[in-house]
Structure formats: C-alpha cells, structure tokens
C-alpha cells in the first residue's frame, strides 16, 4: 500500500502583511524593476535585460540591440518552490 502525502494548502486570500503575499511581492518586484530601468535610461545609462529569449541592450535613446541569444531555461514555478517540503 502506498502512503500519500496531503496536498499543500495554498491560501488564495490576501494576506495582512504584504511581504507574505506572493501576488503583492510579484507586483512590487515588477514595479521596482520598471522604475529602475526608467531611471537608468533617464540618466543616459544603457540597460541590459532578457527579452524574448535574447539578451538585449537598450540605450538611452531607446534603441534596442540584441547582444546574444540565450539558451532556453525551464520555467520557474514559485508555488512549487515554496511548497516543496510541505507535508
């Protein structure tokens, strides 16, 4: 007979502490990265990031240049990562 693990409980309601709510953390990260990119470009500093599987450099005048094509990576599943050792 096989022993089954209880499924992890995922809370779908909004948490009291925004630093414990993964949706809020994802939104904070998205907003912070976009603000940082905007400030870099306003200061005339080029920004390098991943876009559509390519490493792209964006200059202060908003011109994009593909630096190189990146190797495909397995998607990261935050929920699976956070619940990996829950019994």
pLDDT tens digits, residue range 18-71?
Answer: 666 777 888 889 999 999 999 999 999 999 999 999 999 999 998 999 999 999
For 15, 18, 43, 78, the CA distances from 25, given in Å and listed in that order, are 11, 7, 27, 11
The answer to whether residue 6 sits within a structural domain is no
User: Is 31 contained in some domain?
Assistant: yes
Query: Whole-model pTM above 0.75?
Result: no
Boundaries of domain holding 34: 18-70
List of E strands, the chain: 47-51, 54-58, 64-69
Distance (Å, rounded) from C-alpha 71 to C-alpha 64? 20
Residues 6+ away with beta carbon under 8 Å from 15: 21, 24
Q: Is residue 36 part of a domain?
A: yes
Residue 5 domain flag? no
What's the domain count of the chain? 1
Q: At 46, which helix (H) or strand (E)?
A: none
């Amino acid at each position: 007979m096989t022993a089954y693990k209880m499924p992890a409980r995922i809370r779908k309601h909004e948490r009291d502490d925004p630093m414990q709510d993964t949706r809020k953390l994802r939104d904070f990260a998205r907003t912070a990265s976009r603000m940082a990119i905007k400030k870099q470009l306003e200061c005339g500093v080029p920004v390098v990031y991943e876009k559509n599987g390519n490493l792209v450099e964006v200059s202060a005048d908003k011109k994009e240049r593909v630096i190189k094509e990146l190797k495909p990576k397995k998607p990261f599943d935050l929920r699976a990562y956070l619940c990996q050792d829950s019994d």
